[in-house]
Structure formats: structure tokens, C-alpha cells
Chains A and B, each alone.
Chain A
Amino acid sequence: MATLTEAPPPLSPTAPAKTPPRRRGRLVPYWLLLPGILWLLVFFALPMIYQASTSVQTGSLEEGYEVTWHFATYWDALSEYYPQFLRSVLYAGSATVLCLILGYPLAYLIAFRAGRWRNLIMILVIAPFFTSFLIRTLAWKTILADGGPVVGALNTLHVLDVTSWLGMTSGDRVLATPLAVVCGLTYNFLPFMILPLYSSLERIDGRLHEAAGDLYAKPITTFRKVTFPLSMPGVVSGTLLTFIPAAGDYVNADLLGSADTRMVGNVIQTQFLRILDYPTAAALSFILMAAILVMVTVYIRKSGTEDLV
């Protein structure tokens, strides 16, 4: 606990930016960084190393584990659970695209059209956070209940026929299908898309719209050539903030899905907490981490916004 409540060290934390700190000041940044960075090293970085080591161990709970560089665990894990991996990418990807499509108009509305309602709408976007997301996810069980109004409407509009054909639903059910899981993921991570989108849209000078209009751009052209490119930082960080947690999520798949919608998060959770097969769980987790890091790096490079951090 001592480290938790530790006050900032009694050294000058305020020497101005450009002034080289006077004599003893040289160590100040290191003192400021020390507790927090140590915390991250011990409880974030070190566990990653432990996990990497666990993934190449063999043994059993009773006899204990030993590092045997047993890389076959990776191969076994991948060949057994690749459907769950694919599902994770597919569901998280769909949810991210849906979040972008649904979130952009709302972010745009808050940034440019809400006027004096801006603060109220902002509050309504953020406030649901305070009702536990598990409770809100459970509410989708009611909304998407079999024979309920939503399913009935989708049925009448023949939407379910299309989704069935796509393999997203089966019969006239929505619950316990991929559609329900994607719907839950989209819902849960939508604010993480809206907030970064809003903050980059908000920075755009409203006069740019007028300037574009003045220069013979139709509203749709203005959006395509001015607004959207300028909101790219928000799009990039929004998609990352949506995709990453969605890919690792297991709550939506568990509460709204079925055995056929299990994602990689579900597998890791079961292996770790129920089956207690630590090497397999660690290998799966390691693969997920590596895959996400590679995707994130490639994505950030491609979209040319490297100063996200």
C-alpha cells in the first residue's frame, strides 16, 4: 500500500520545460517516472514474460510444470482452436465496421449540429457506462428475446432471411446466434468509437465547411474531401479502441451466444479457469497478443497516423 499512496517526491517537479533543471533537478523525471513505470514493468511486462514461459512448459497440476521448450503446444492450440480465432477476427471486425457506420453520424451530430443540446447528448453517450456493462448486456437478452417485438419486426421485414442466408442467424431466432454476439459487441464498444471520432471532428474549424462550399463543393463532396480526411485520427483510434477489446471479449459470446459462437476469449477463459490447462491457455493468449500487435502496427503504418500515442 505504501507505494499506492506515495506522495510525489519533494523535488521540484515544476522547473520550466526549456530550462535545464538546476543541479539536483536532473533526477526529477526519473523519480516521477519510477513508481508508475515500476508498476507497469512488474504487473504488465513481467507477466507477459511469465506467460511466454508458461506456454512452452509441460507437466501437470499435480506434478508441477517445467520449461521444456515444447513449441508443439502452439501448433496444437492453433489447429484445435483456429475456428474460434477466425470467429474473433470476424465478429470483432464486423462490430468495428458497424460501430463506425453507427457512430460517425452521432459524433458528427454532437460536433456540428447539436448546438445547445451538445452537452446533454454527450452525457447520454457516457452515462450508460455507469450501469455495469454486464447488466446492459443482459438487457439485450430481453430485447432480442424469441418472439419479441424486435425479432418479430426483423422477421416481417425479411431481414432474418438475409441474415440466415449469410449464416448470421438460424431460423427465426436471433439470440444464441452470431448476429446477437455482433450486436452485443457493437453496442458495448460503440462509445469507444464515438468519443475519439467526436474529439477529432470537434477540432475541425466549422469555417472549413463554408470554405469548401464556397469553392463549389457539394455537401457530400465536402464530407469526402474535407471532413472525413480531417477526422482520420479519430477513425484510426476509434477502430483500434473498438477492435482490440472486441477481439478479446468473451462476455458477449457467453451471454448472448451459444456453443457455436465461442470466441478465442472464451477458450482462454475456460482453459485457464476451468480446465486449468495453463500451457495451452498461455499459448492461445500469446498468439492473440501477437496477432493483435501485428495488426495494430500494420494498421497504424498504413493509415499514416503514427503519433497516436
Chain B
Amino acid sequence: MTNDTSGDVRLSGISKAYGSFTAVHPLDLTVPQGSFFALLGASGCGKTTTLRMIAGLEEPSAGTVFLGDQEVTRLPPYKRPVNTVFQSYALFPHLDIFENVAFGLRRRGIKSVKKQVEEMLDLVQLGEQARKKPHQLSGGQQQRVAVARALINHPKVLLLDEPLGALDLKLRRQMQLELKRIQTEVGITFVHVTHDQEEAMTMADTVAVMNAGRVEQLGSPADLYENPRTTFVANFLGTSNLIEADVDSRSGDEIVLKAGGGKLVLPEARCSAPTTTGGKVLVGVRPEKISLTHAHDAGEIPAGRNRITGKIADSRFIGVSTQYVVDSPVCPDFEVYAQNIDRDTRLVPGADVVLHWNPAHTFGLDATQSLLAGTVGSVGIEEEAAV
């Protein structure tokens, strides 16, 4: 990536309130030139409002928006060098595909648009459809028209508002790769709003997880997944098993915790909460990091691993892996995903098991938060699950 900063998006202290409801709390954010940035969160978390403030479709209540070195906070949308791919595309129904794509060029007084439009339509593989009306195209084709209509203007930043939300799963996967390819090709800064964590993680270089008008955590997909700093991020991105534990002692750079009579070890570097001896902390571990051993073989488990005992409550075979739900004294529904390499036939519902994992995969969170934040069914996530 170059040192060119003309495509940077800088938000400083930006916020938006509708009457007494605050949609976005004061927010500082820098999206570097050429990056693929995702704003991820449930509906109503403020991610779309943030995007619309960058586009100029929403005026911030406070704060400033910079594109490169230019302040654009008060500029109307038609004077900003950014373009948007709208949710459900907003293609003009009365214009054909060619005119839809040419719209932005024509408004800027460019007369000979034919060559550019045709090139752009070829880029999104719609050259044949130029004279059709939007309603005659499939969802995926409409989506590509929307991208072409925005990209032809060579914006400094392309904003994407849930661009794949209306597509079915298979097409969505395909379009994710397609968008990523286009972004690499044109090198424009992309800011992508989505509620789909998988989509955000596969496409973006950097993801900002938003909740209730605030950015909960910002980082690369791997970083967010491995080191969540709040229960919301831990639950919203993938699945986490969270255990409430008491701080027992410290040894070196490790914290020793007590949970349900057993001991667990947590590397201090992976704990985002302040820990005092006797205090509480939430311990988390991802389901795929855990190994499952039948209670009879407990002696074969190497020393130095975190262990928990329990009884298998349910198991689901899903091809590449088997997902177990384990009922344990410290956590009622412990999720464990086991690769189907050598399947132990004794691991059926009702079997007593020992769960164990490398302490390095443990992360610690502040115990004052809700254990359920970010799970399906909690506030704000419900509607999304229904969609």
C-alpha cells in the first residue's frame, strides 16, 4: 500500500442523535487509503448511520468527516467524491442499465460516456444487458449494476450498505469473492456495512464491531476472533464458551483461576480485564480449540492443559465436524466442535467426558458484562436472526 492518503476516511468525534435517541456515540475512526474496511453489527447498532454520514446522506450532530485532507462534514452528497452501493441497490426503475451506469458521469457534464460505460459493464460482465430495465435482471445482476454505477465515477471511497443482503447464500459467497477481486483491482478504499460476521471476516482487512452506537472493538478478522475484548464480540463473532471464574493466584505471566472446584490457567496478556486476587473474571474459549476425551481415558490427557468435566447432552454430526453440547457444572451448554478424524464411538449423549485445551487459547473478559451480549435472542440481535 502506498503513502497516498487522499482516500483516507477520518471521522473525528462524530455522533448522531435523533431527538433523545443517540444512534451513534462520539466516534473516532480512520480508514486508511486502499483498505477494505467493514462495519459489523446487528440492526440498529449505528453502522448504517455512520456510513450515511460519510456519504453525506445524514448530517452528523457533532464531529467532523475528512476525506484525505478535505473536510466534507457539511458538503451535500452530490459534492462528495464518494459513491454508495445502496441496500437493495436503488437502481432507477425508469432508466435502462446503460443509463443507470452513465447517470453519475452525465450529471458531472461528461458528454461522451459510451466507451466508459461499456468498459464498466464488461468489467461486471453485463455488456449484453445494457438496454434492459433493472426489473428484468436477477438479484445478482442488479447488484453488479449497482457496483458498476458507483465505481464508474472513480470515487475516492466506495461505500457499501449491506450490498449482499438480498442475495441467497450461494450467490452471496460468489459476490463476496467478486467484490474482493474488484477492490484489489481498482485499489479504492471500500467501507462495507454488514450484519453478517462471516461476510465481514472473509472480505475485510479491518473490521469494526459496533454495538449500541459504539465501536466495541476494531482489528483484523483473526485478531477479533482470537482476542475478543468484550462478551459482545466474543458471542457475535462465532461462538464462545464463557465461564465465570474467581482469580486465585498469579504465577509469572499467568493467572490461575478457580471455577467450580477445578483450576484454569489464563495468560495475562490475553486478559482484557483488570484482575485482582479474589476478584471475578470471565474465561472464554472457542469451541474448536477444545478436545474431548472420554472420562475413562482421563489419565492420558497431557499435563498443563485446562480441564473441565461434564456429560454430553447432545451431539450433531455435520460432516466436517461433530458439534457436541456438554453439560458441565461451570457452564450448562458448553459447545465443542471436534474434527471427524478418529471418531470415538463412546462419545454419545449421556457419556461422561473431560474437556481440555491449551491454556494459550484461553481469553479473559471483564466479569461485569452480560454473558449473553451478542448472542441470538439478546437485544438487537433478534430481528437480524429473523431476516
Contacts and interface: CB of A to CB of B under 8 A. Distances in A.
Asked whether the complex places CB atoms of A and B closer than 8 A, the reply is yes
Interface of A: 16, 18-20, 22
Contacts of A16: 57
Nearest to A21: B59
Interface in B83-112: none
A20 B59 contact: yes
The 6 closest A-B pairs by CB, nearest first: A19-B57, A19-B58, A20-B59, A16-B57, A22-B76, A19-B59
Interface class of chain B by DSSP: loop
Interface residues of B, number: 4
A22 B57 contact: no
Contacts of B57: 16, 19
8 contacts: A16-B57, A18-B58, A19-B57, A19-B58, A19-B59, A20-B59, A22-B59, A22-B76
Interface of B: 57-59, 76
Nearest to A20: B59
Contacts of A18: 58
A18 to B, nearest CB: 8
A19 B55 CA distance: 12
Given A18-B58, A22-B76, 6 more contacts: A16-B57, A19-B57, A19-B58, A19-B59, A20-B59, A22-B59
Contacts of A20: 59
Nearest to A16: B57
B310 to A, nearest CB: 45
B68 to A, nearest CB: 23
Nearest to B18: A18
A299 to B, nearest CB: 36
A270 B76 CA distance: 61
A16 B58 CA distance: 10
B62 to A, nearest CB: 14
A16 B76 CA distance: 12
B10 to A, nearest CB: 22
A13 to B, nearest CB: 15
B204 to A, nearest CB: 27
Nearest to A18: B58
Contacts of B58: 18-19
A20 B59 CA distance: 8
